[in-house]
Structure 1
Amino acid sequence: MPNLIRLIIGFAFVGAAVALFIFGFWGWGILLVFLSIFIFITYFYNENMLIAQWYLRKDNMPKAEQFLGRIKSYEKELNRVQHGYYNLLIGLIESRKAPMKSEKYFKAALNLGLHMDHNIALAKLSLAGIAMGKRNKLEANRYLAEAKKADKQKLLADQIKQMKDQMGMMDKQQQVRYSR
């Protein structure tokens, strides 16, 4: 329902802007056009998620969690396209607190749909790290290969290489243990 109200207000602002242009109030008309653009942006991108992403980039997890906490029921409040991104953000926050508990959020994000390749790669890289923590090398390798395939712009290439190196070190440690 709040999304419907946003659309109604956005179109009302566009109509008022057109009326202001007709009557010669160009300044107020331009202002209303910008306000309507802002309202339409918040229809497609929830403002709490945008602010939470900004705080995640600033590495302020408590504030990001606070803004995501304002979304009570993401199925009702967010567009269907945003469901996967909501779970991805929750998973990133949860991975700092309890990494093994964040697995369900990353899997839900992938199941609900992420549309940007680097976000898919990030979710799969995080799942590879969780699989490594569980000492499941086969699953970790599979997720790393999928992450590398999804990372077309090489934004996570360093992290993928680092994780492969860590897996190699795990293999060496296991070989040393077994040789004793």
Structure 2
Amino acid sequence: MIRKYLRLIIAGILFLGSIALFINSLVSAGIWILLLSGLFVLTYFKNEMNLIAFYFVRKNKFESAGKMLGRVKNPGNMIAGQEAYYYYLSGLFEAQKQKNTQAEKHFKKALETGLRLKTDQAVAKLNLSGIALSKRNKKLATYYLQDAKKLDKQKMLTAQIREIEGMLKRI
């Protein structure tokens, strides 16, 4: 994993190189170098291990996602948004492995660090509600469920919310 400031330095050098190529009438090479510098800028804002882990989570390959997340040595060195999504993905991975205490810790850390999307916050709180429900803590589960309902503006999680509500009624 390349350090975050080194990425910007490499992107700047590549950008200057692409300008030199444009000046020397090597436009196609300049475009490729410019795209390569854009890739370094993108990975400054989006950690490549998080991106690969997101891909594996979407494909329901949680073991591969866990391996990618395991390669991150120090998540504290990431930008706050990257760190939040690292903990979010780690929470999803741990929840899939039925390790509720680890998953709860990761989801709380992700919410504390600051997930950007409301849907991701809703998913994290819905998972926290399910974990609290598995611990027979109805009050905390209801709290997280209400927060998840408020954050789910696009109604993408209605089926899962109804399922948790049904479980709450049985307790």
Q: What's the TM-score, normalizing by structure 1?
A: 0.90
1: CA distance, partners of 2:4 / 2:100: 34
Identify the residue that residue 81 of structure 1 maps to in structure 2.
81
Identify the residue that residue 7 of structure 2 maps to in structure 1.
6
Identify the residue that residue 39 of structure 1 maps to in structure 2.
40
Counterpart check, 1:25 vs 2:26? yes
What runs of 5+ residues in structure 2 fail to find an aligned partner? Answer: none
Identify the residue that residue 118 of structure 2 maps to in structure 1.
117
Identify the residue that residue 90 of structure 2 maps to in structure 1.
90
1: CA distance, partners of 2:53 / 2:86: 10
Cα deviations across residues 72-102 of structure 1 (Å, max 9, x unaligned)?
01112x1122111111111110011234221
Structure 1 counterpart SS, 2:106: helix
Please report how far the alpha carbon of residue 151 of structure 1 lies from its aligned counterpart in structure 2 after TM superposition. Answer: 1.0
2: CA distance, partners of 1:57 / 1:21: 39
Q: RMSD across aligned C-alpha pairs, in angstroms?
A: 1.2
Please report how far the alpha carbon of residue 108 of structure 1 lies from its aligned counterpart in structure 2 after TM superposition. Answer: 0.9
Q: Which amino acid aligns with 1:89?
A: L
Cα deviations across residues 128-171 of structure 1 (Å, max 9, x unaligned)?
00111011111111111100101112121221122112222x14
Q: Which amino acid aligns with 1:13?
A: L
Cα deviations across residues 92-125 of structure 1 (Å, max 9, x unaligned)?
1001123422111111111111111001001100
Q: Which runs of 4+ in 1 moved over 4 A?
A: none
2: CA distance, partners of 1:17 / 1:155: 43
Q: What's the TM-score, normalizing by structure 2?
A: 0.94
Identify the residue that residue 135 of structure 2 maps to in structure 1.
134
Q: Which amino acid aligns with 2:125?
A: K
Q: Which amino acid aligns with 1:88?
A: Y
Q: Which amino acid aligns with 1:115?
A: R
Q: Which amino acid aligns with 1:41?
A: L
Across the two proteins, how many residue pairs are aligned to each other? Answer: 169
2: CA distance, partners of 1:128 / 1:160: 10
Instruction: Kindly name which structure, 1 or 2, has the bigger radius of gyration based on alpha carbons.
Output: 1
Identify the residue that residue 175 of structure 1 maps to in structure 2.
none
Percent identity for Structure 1 against Structure 2: 40
What runs of 5+ residues in structure 1 fail to find an aligned partner? Answer: 172-180
Match runs of 1:148-163 below 5 Å: 148-163=149-164
